[in-house]
Structure 1
Amino acid sequence: MTVRSFLLHSAIIVGMAACSSAKKEKEEAPAPPESLPMEVLSLDNLDAFAAPDNNWQLAGNVYVNRQQPQQMEVKEGKGILAFATAKGNSTLRTKMEHGDIDLELDFMLSGQAGATLLFQGKYPLQLKDSWLKDSVTVDDCGAVEGKAPLLNACKAPGLWQHLEVKFRTARSGYSATGTTEAGFERVVLNGRTIQQEPSLDSITTDTLLKQVQTGPLGFLVKNGPVAFRNIRYKTYNDKRAALTNLQYHVYKGVYKNHDTIKLLMPVRSGQTDSLTYRVGDKRAQLLLEGKLQLPVQGEYVFSIRAGGPIRLMIDGKEIANNGGTRDYQRAFYGDTVLTAGPHDFQLSYANYDECMVLLYEGPHIPFTALTTPASERLVEPSPSMEYVLKGEPAIQRSFIEHRGKVDAYSMSVGAPVGINYAYDMVTYSPLLAWHGRYIDVAEMWHERGEQQLARPLGATLDLAGIPCIAELSSVKAPWPDSMRVDSSDYTNRGYMLRSDGLPMFFYTLHQWKVEDYLHPRQDGKGLQRDVTVTSNGAKDKAYWLLASGGIIEKLADGSYAVDDKNYYIETAVKPEIVEDDGQYRLVLPLETGNKTTDIHYSIIW
């Protein structure tokens, strides 16, 4: 090899390596955040609270026996705020004061317990053991002053429940009447919206000054024990960004490569006082540029949605780009750190479908639109089409959402007693379970029914949705987390309806024959699962998976708290708790040879 060819060969290798490295770096680049992080209320000690009394303590773990009302066991440690006594009452207030606030936390109630969150120390949101109540009132969990929750989304005593609240404070001098009332813009309990924009009586008296009311977050307990953890929040003020010196340029044609317009002359230009696609033309490229005036320094997150290619540039740097899609319902994000004051702003949009939305979030600034409301293309919501159970069970094949993805092989099963579940017909495992009403089928039937989604009408319990039987070398071997439709080891043998109208599923894994029947418990407190596994001469070891997820604990009453006290498994069999890289499994070995293993357990939430 000559020196020249050697150098050329080396350059090609180096170039290929550099391209490969750049490609790998691009593939591994983390996705931009979709929101700024929340502040954490530290529970390493009680320093975040004003004058806590002796009824409050920190804990590393707590346990509630759901069969015993008003009882809680506390394990020493930190990270959990506990009021562990059934007697007395107490109000604990934060040193932090807030006006507008987004709040998230987990709470746990003992049987018959109740507490109240006091926003600004005076606006109450009720937390109460309302588990399994058919209808809820102003005295139940999630109620605010004079307004009952929209539905009962409560879990059983002793389980952690997740709460999300958007609270907006009263303001004076902002309206013709002099005040605006405080209110809960949204309350979400265990994934379901239970309050939507109920206003509260305003206690504001100053009608002259534009001032925001503030006050502490209070934890009021009249009927314990209760516990809280993972308390996070964002507080907001009234400072906002502004666009100035805004100009528009309209170009003939639409381009995915936004730099193409640098080679073109605009067909027209002008000034505008609002950020909207309406200053442009259909099937034309629009460039909007000016100054973005920011009130404070810090990290900012931007969100864009558009019916066509769109790109946001700030100070000559690309912040967000939708890659040219025309999916105007899908948001794309970008984040950057910016100083207070003016910044060069540029938004380029190829107008295919007349939708252009730009939002931003900043330090103590909630997500706010920079574009006008008229610049958004609204999607008409599907009407509600509830599948009402009329005294007998129902089965509906459809798609269903599970852990952020659409499962195309699901079956929704509903029982008139208000215990429902969704089952995957490829992995042969339950995906979801929920109490209350059955499903909304509007997205299966309205217009073209393109999404084919059935939506549960209760607060759903997400289950693992992975295969429940596996042949493994040992109980600690990795468990299969999925099953491909085109290369499944399972053989589908269908299902039959039992005398109660509910399905029993049949399938095989190699020589293992499985019969799987899920039905409501007699007491209505959860799902009973009855499984029969016949080995048919199988010699390899096989195991049954009762549950998997985060931490699994065996409780004093013999049941198991699964996925960090997300739900209970109650069983007479003796499964083993297996830990694998931070995840836990509840596993039972199966009989080999020509034997039958009967497995009975309940899922309670």
Structure 2
Amino acid sequence: MNLNVLKFRTTAFLWLFGTALAFGQELTDLPEVNLNELSSFSSPPKTWTTASQVIANLKADHSLKTSTGTGILVANPEKKSQHADLFTKAVHGDMILELDYLMAKGSNSGIYLQGNYEIQLKDSWGVTNPTSADNGGIYERWDETKPDGQKGYGGYAPRQNASMAPGLWQHLKIAFQAPRFSTSGTKTANARILSVVLNGVVIHDNVELFGPTRGAVGQEKALGSLRFQGDHGPVAFKNIRISRLPAELLSDGQKEKAGADPIYIDAATNTMIRSFVDVQPGLRVVHAISVGSPKQVHYSYDLDNGLLLHGWHGDFIDATPMWDGRGNGTSRPRGAVTSFTSKLIPAVAQLNNSGAAWPVDSTGTGFRTKGYVMDNEDRPEFKYNIYGSQVTDAIKAKEDGKGLVRTISIDKALPNLYVLLANASSIQELSPGLYLVNGQAFYLELDESTAKPLIRDVEGRKELIILLGSKLKYQLSF
């Protein structure tokens, strides 16, 4: 090896090693941040605690109710404070950060990579045109010397709004490439957000950061603490995991184009597409319809079972698997998906009693799909026959774009006819008629005039069932 090259590599290693020693342990040596207590953080403010469960109040801003325990990191400031942010003792350079977080209604927070580059966390539920100040945005830079109205600049809005409702757990994964410096300390390359994936949706891809965002702690550096903002409102975190950035993900600014051009379907108006739909690996619905709304809340429906499969916020459909080349007949959601079922079973069934097992198929029920009719806004209302009666199933986007309203009606009431509202890992009643479902994945709220449903245990899971009179109406918020 050339002696000058060896000397350079040795000097660079010693400089980086010395920097790491000055700051302490690197976060990439800690695969999971301990949330049983706060020892991983430097002088944690009193506004930060641990909890075993966190519940948001959907009707009150900045309200989180916590249960005593560990495993969840919670910031619950009573008012804005200048000294409420939380910093890890360990530092990081390149890394992959993965975590779950939960927002209070109307709340605002952020994650600062190396203390300097903010990924915004915010209750942006239902926002149709997100900016860099919305959930998942790369926050803007700031220059006080510029004229009013121009001080903020250089932020990056998420590609689409993949946000969930307050009080629901959201998943975030960030691949970060730290800035590069010469042995003399001169910056030679800007930091990069290689990717941000929010709730399964890529919202940023290979974004160069030309400097710290607003609120940064100081100058850019090779290593810095991970910082959690805690001065703008209640927020909770769990499952914080850090791993090393694989060398193959490092970017020099070039991005190769891979695969075929995608075939996207938007929903500028109320839109429908027929296709196969994969609910989960190995579970394909072959008679499915996906229904899109300009309010950016969409769903897929199983015609063979009268079953609502899943809903999502954001962009509508990726039809590439169906139409590229010979295709395989499937389409897939482009936004953040919330699943409403884990198996294909009838949505409505007649039971001998409330404890009877739910049928696994519609054999013997006289089930027959009758297609759908369109309402005056070109939204489908599905029809099917069962037990000699006709059911109308109308699923529509809420006016505020924050979920779905479902109305199931029958032309003649039948005894012991039940609707399966939910089959999930957990179902928790928050208040009369309001349920938190599947590990805080979505809310189900019944119309005030509806009879009380039954929560029952079935093979280690929970089922929420209710008698169907002439009509049943409820909302799904996610």
**What interval of TM-score do these two structures reach, taking the shorter chain for normalisation?**
0.7 to 0.9
1:222 partner amino acid: D
Picking from 163, 167, 174, the partner of 1:154 is 163
Counterpart-to-counterpart distance in 1, 2:434 and 2:91: 41
1:139 maps to what in 2? 133
Picking from 407, 410, 414, the partner of 2:288 is 410
1:156 partner amino acid: A
How far did 1:86 drift?
Answer: 4.0
Is residue 177 of structure 2 the alignment partner of residue 168 of structure 1?
yes
Stretch of structure 1 that moved more, 46-55 or 580-589 = 580-589
How far did 1:512 drift?
Answer: 5.6
For residues 220-299 of structure 1, what are the structure 2 equivalents within 5 Å?
Answer: 220-235=229-244
Is residue 425 of structure 2 the alignment partner of residue 550 of structure 1?
yes
Picking from 38, 41, 51, the partner of 1:49 is 41
Is residue 110 of structure 2 the alignment partner of residue 101 of structure 1?
no
Is residue 211 of structure 2 the alignment partner of residue 191 of structure 1?
no
Contact 1:170–1:202 (Cα < 8 Å) also in 2: no
Q: Secondary structure at the match of 2:286?
A: strand
Counterpart-to-counterpart distance in 1, 2:258 and 2:238: 38
Distance 1:116 1:419, change over 3 A: closer
Q: Secondary structure at the match of 1:444?
A: helix
2:407 maps to what in 1? 530
For residues 493-512 of structure 1, what are the structure 2 equivalents within 5 Å?
Answer: 493-511=370-388
Larger Rg, first or second structure (1 or 2): 1
Counterpart-to-counterpart distance in 1, 2:382 and 2:107: 40
Picking from 423, 432, 437, the partner of 2:315 is 437
Is residue 70 of structure 2 the alignment partner of residue 78 of structure 1?
yes
Q: Secondary structure at the match of 1:555?
A: strand
Is residue 467 of structure 2 the alignment partner of residue 602 of structure 1?
no
How far did 1:557 drift?
Answer: 6.9
Q: Percent identity?
A: 32
1:213 maps to what in 2? 222
How far did 1:411 drift?
Answer: 0.6
Counterpart-to-counterpart distance in 2, 1:456 and 1:411: 12
Counterpart-to-counterpart distance in 1, 2:355 and 2:180: 59
Stretch of structure 1 that moved more, 426-435 or 527-536 = 527-536
Distance 1:488 1:172, change over 3 A: farther
Q: Deviations over 1:413-446 (max 9, x none)?
A: 1233333211112222111212343323344334
How far did 1:368 drift?
Answer: 5.1
Q: Secondary structure at the match of 2:131?
A: coil
Counterpart-to-counterpart distance in 2, 1:479 and 1:218: 48
Contact 2:126–2:400 (Cα < 8 Å) also in 1: no
Is residue 103 of structure 2 the alignment partner of residue 125 of structure 1?
no
1:230 partner amino acid: N
1:40 maps to what in 2? 32
Counterpart-to-counterpart distance in 2, 1:563 and 1:537: 30
Q: Deviations over 1:346-396 (max 9, x none)?
A: xxxxxxxxxxxxxxxxxxxx3759xxxxxxxx99633243334454x2221
2:435 partner amino acid: Y
Picking from 327, 330, 334, the partner of 1:453 is 330
Counterpart-to-counterpart distance in 2, 1:139 and 1:557: 35
Is residue 105 of structure 2 the alignment partner of residue 111 of structure 1?
yes
How far did 1:195 drift?
Answer: 0.9
2:276 maps to what in 1? 399
2:64 partner amino acid: M
1:63 partner amino acid: I
Counterpart-to-counterpart distance in 2, 1:408 and 1:598: 28
Counterpart-to-counterpart distance in 1, 2:178 and 2:320: 36
How far did 1:222 drift?
Answer: 2.4
How far did 1:599 drift?
Answer: 0.7
Counterpart-to-counterpart distance in 2, 1:156 and 1:234: 28
Distance 1:582 1:122, change over 3 A: farther
Counterpart-to-counterpart distance in 2, 1:560 and 1:426: 27
Distance 1:477 1:101, change over 3 A: farther
Distance 1:72 1:180, change over 3 A: same
Contact 1:475–1:589 (Cα < 8 Å) also in 2: no
Contact 1:126–1:141 (Cα < 8 Å) also in 2: yes
Distance 1:180 1:380, change over 3 A: closer
Q: Deviations over 1:284-323 (max 9, x none)?
A: xxxxxxxxxxxxxxxxxxxxxxxxxxxxxxxxxxxxxxxx
Contact 1:494–1:506 (Cα < 8 Å) also in 2: yes
Counterpart-to-counterpart distance in 1, 2:70 and 2:461: 22
Task: Give the TM-score normalised by structure 2.
Answer: 0.78
Distance 1:390 1:48, change over 3 A: closer
Counterpart-to-counterpart distance in 2, 1:582 and 1:160: 22
Q: Deviations over 1:448-469 (max 9, x none)?
A: 3x12332323222222164322
For residues 456-605 of structure 1, what are the structure 2 equivalents within 5 Å?
Answer: 456-464=333-341, 466-467=344-345, 468-480=347-359, 483=361, 490-511=367-388, 513-533=390-410, 541-556=416-431, 558-572=433-447, 573=450, 574-590=452-468, 596-605=469-478
Contact 1:127–1:141 (Cα < 8 Å) also in 2: yes
Contact 1:99–1:235 (Cα < 8 Å) also in 2: no
Task: Give the TM-score normalised by structure 1.
Answer: 0.62
Q: Runs of 5+ in structure 1 lacking a partner?
A: 1-37, 204-211, 237-365, 370-377, 591-595
How far did 1:132 drift?
Answer: 1.1
Contact 2:40–2:90 (Cα < 8 Å) also in 1: yes
1:137 partner amino acid: T
How far did 1:527 drift?
Answer: 0.8
How far did 1:488 drift?
Answer: 8.6
1:64 maps to what in 2? 56
How far did 1:135 drift?
Answer: 0.7
Contact 1:74–1:84 (Cα < 8 Å) also in 2: no
Count of matched residue positions in the alignment of Structure 1 and Structure 2? 411
Q: Deviations over 1:111-142 (max 9, x none)?
A: 22111112222222111111111111121111
Q: Deviations over 1:47-78 (max 9, x none)?
A: 22221121011112122112211111122122
Distance 1:178 1:96, change over 3 A: closer
Q: Secondary structure at the match of 2:161?
A: coil
Counterpart-to-counterpart distance in 1, 2:292 and 2:165: 20
Picking from 305, 309, 312, the partner of 1:427 is 305
Q: Deviations over 1:132-162 (max 9, x none)?
A: 1111112111122421111111111121111
How far did 1:518 drift?
Answer: 0.6
Stretch of structure 1 that moved more, 529-538 or 92-101 = 529-538
How far did 1:95 drift?
Answer: 2.5
1:85 partner amino acid: P
Contact 1:576–1:586 (Cα < 8 Å) also in 2: yes
Counterpart-to-counterpart distance in 1, 2:366 and 2:88: 56
Contact 2:50–2:74 (Cα < 8 Å) also in 1: yes
Distance 1:390 1:91, change over 3 A: closer
